A and B are shown apart, each in its own frame.
Chain A
Amino acid sequence: MNQKLTDWFKLDNSGKIFPEVSNQRETNTFRVQVALTEEVDSDILQMATEGILERYPMFKVRMKHGMFWNYLDYNTKPFLIQPMTHEVCSALNPRENNCYLFKVLYRNNMIAIEMFHSLADGGGVVMLLQSLVYEYLKLKGYNVTPDNIIKTKYERPVAEEYEDANEKYYNAKNRKHVPEQRAYRIKGTMLPDNLTGLISGTMDTGKVLELARSKNLTMTEYFSALAMDVIYNTQIRYRTHLKSNQAPVKIFVPVNLRKHFPSETLRNFSNFVKTNLVLDRDDITLEELFEHTHESFQNGMIKEELIRKMSENVAFEKNVLLRFMPYFIKRYALKIGYNMLGMKLNTMSMTNIGRVVFPPSMEPYIKDVTAAVAAGKYNAVNCAILSYKDQLKISFTRSILETNIEREFFRHFTEKGLDLKVESNFVEEFV
């Protein structure tokens, strides 16, 4: 496979909407971060990044405007790593970033990648980060091996990594549009200057899994139901007569479609399942929410339903009217459409990246792994979950000052006797 075969890429289906609807507050970026057991050497990290970008031409791109759609074009400018600042998942600044659509950040013993969602989803970024850390440790002179888990820079990129898998698996016959109701929005005091708060808690994976299994649930189902319960208890209960509290609480959970369809793509290939329940009684119990969550996730995960949701989006993109509308008009059409339909459909997003595996030879150098997604005006509190070895790390990002959702969420586990170690960026001290 010749890597110079093409030096530009069409945006994938989900990637097309993000450039139009992103701004300083709704940044649509997310972060995956590795803490090593030793200090990060920024010069070696810069070298490792440059080496890895040759392996992943998919990420060595900048966005350009075409007549009808944006596209990703090969970026000739050098990529520069940056020291981490107080900003979490902030908007990408093309000027300080040479127009790249992702950042590599370092601080003390941490390496982080912040990615714009047009380019890849969580699965793709984890692969990139694994390669980067491997390359870094290799350049440091440690004896690490890839063990077929990690793509190294000595391999050639393959075409499957760039494919738009949505387009491949969509079915034009199964694309019924199901209208949705506006979701409940978490209330709070917005943080100024587009600041984002980050609080993460680390627990033992086995114990949490035991807890979920005891209710016959998966971990994601358990967390989603718990998040609903926390939102209900802190924001809705005994205030159900208010009009705004009668909207359904919807926890948006991305589904990694690579596990459901045979695809190796690095680009966006995910869909979602959602909880959807109006919490308008004063006596809703956690058990009830467990049941609802389990049921709606089971139904959402059926293959026909996943294909339907995928095809709904692809069909929208293939609409002749939209397709041949010049870009400068289309961007406003997309923006208005998203503001009316897309943005307000979720209360909270809860991303479960799953287990991140490193080869045994690398594990002694890696302390923990963290993920975080951007929080905005409508999804004021978001959550990202990830496990590495026996540590389960739950990270909440928020655009509001209040922390009662995080507090109640974590207290649920500490009350059950689990040990919880917390990290925070103490955003409340900034203002």
Chain B
Amino acid sequence: MKHCDKCNITIETKQQYCPLCHQVLSGESNADARETYPDYISPRRMFLPTTKKVILFLTILSIVILIVINWADFDGRYWSLIPIGGIIYFWFLVRVGLFSKRNIGFRFASLTVLLILLLILIDYEGQSQIHGWSIDYMLPLLLMTCNLAISATIWIRLLDYRDYFLYLLVIILFSLAPIILVLTGITTVSWPAIAAFGVAIAILLFIVFFFPKKIKEEIKKRFHA
């Protein structure tokens, strides 16, 4: 036991100073005495912080340069949006798709939605003569792929099914959009939309028939107020 004459306290430690007044402690600590609390360990270094900083700097710099060139040489078209969209999508792909520990349903759904938006941008801002391929083909087919991917995930990791249910429902709802575009005559090619619709309805029916209670409960949880 050590003793601080100034504060008149006893303390069991190998440190030399009183924690209250920082004066030197008198007395000897017991031979088998241990510190009550652990020593300091400096926090783990983040994953290559310099590399991340350099890449982020280059990304923002290139976005600024693209905007400046587009603006200086403006001919009525916002072509810089395409490479900027590509860069932003790349960042999401790395951050959310590869390095994130978030729910895989969320990652599938958000990356699909972003990819669709990027493809629509390329479709309508690009110089190609043919427009509409993104909405005609890519939108329904990507949603369908995403639907199947999340369903497969649930099938494989049945234990955590509740984590993915909501994202599956959202994508199923989205998959009904292409069929509306076909019915209103905005798109002319109908087979991808019908295929996506069919898959979505099939999965939805499967859930409603085989997991009616679970889906009800999941909705109750997510929407309680």
A interface list, Cβ under 8 A from B: 8, 10, 64, 66-69, 71, 73, 76, 84-86, 88, 95, 107-108, 110, 193, 198-199, 201, 323-324, 403, 406-407, 410-411, 414-415, 419-426, 428-430
Contacts and interface: CB of A to CB of B under 8 A. Distances in A.
Interface string B9-28: 11111010001111000000
Given A69-B225, A71-B221, A425-B36, A86 B41 contact: yes
Given A73-B221, A199-B20, A403-B20, A422 B40 contact: no
Contacts of B222: 66-67
27 contacts: A8-B217, A64-B221, A66-B222, A66-B224, A67-B225, A69-B224, A69-B225, A73-B221, A86-B37, A86-B38, A95-B101, A110-B36, A199-B19, A411-B8, A411-B20, A414-B7, A419-B10, A421-B9, A422-B9, A422-B11, A422-B19, A423-B12, A424-B11, A424-B36, A425-B37, A426-B15, A426-B19
A424 B9 contact: no
Contacts of A76: 159-160
Nearest to A6: B217
B64 to A, nearest CB: 29
B124 to A, nearest CB: 29
A411 B36 CA distance: 22
B210 interface: no
A420 B224 contact: no
Interface residues of B, number: 31
Given A69-B224, A423-B37, A406 B10 contact: no
B10 A193 contact: no
In the A-B complex, the 6 residue pairs with the closest CB atoms: A424-B19, A425-B37, A430-B40, A414-B8, A407-B20, A68-B225
Contacts of A403: 19-22
Contacts of B159: 76
Contacts of A324: 225
B41 A85 contact: yes
Contact of B15 (A68, A198, A410, A429): A429
A199 to B, nearest CB: 5
B77 interface: no
A336 to B, nearest CB: 21
Contacts of A410: 7, 9, 20
A68 B19 contact: no
Nearest to A420: B9
Given A73-B221, A76-B159, A423 B11 contact: yes
A422 B225 contact: no
A68 B225 CA distance: 6
Interface in B84-132: 101
B37 to A, nearest CB: 4
B34 interface: yes
Contacts of B162: 73
Contacts of A428: 19, 22
B38 A420 contact: no
B161 to A, nearest CB: 10
Given A66-B222, A67-B222, A426-B19, A198 B37 contact: yes
A398 B26 CA distance: 26
Interface in B162-189: 162
B224 A68 contact: yes
A67 B9 contact: no
A68 B20 contact: no
Contact of A86 (B15, B39, B223): B39
Contacts of B221: 8, 64, 66, 71, 73
Nearest to A76: B159
**Most chain B CB atoms below 10 A, which of A324, A403, A407, A419:** A407
Contacts of B34: 108
A229 B83 CA distance: 64
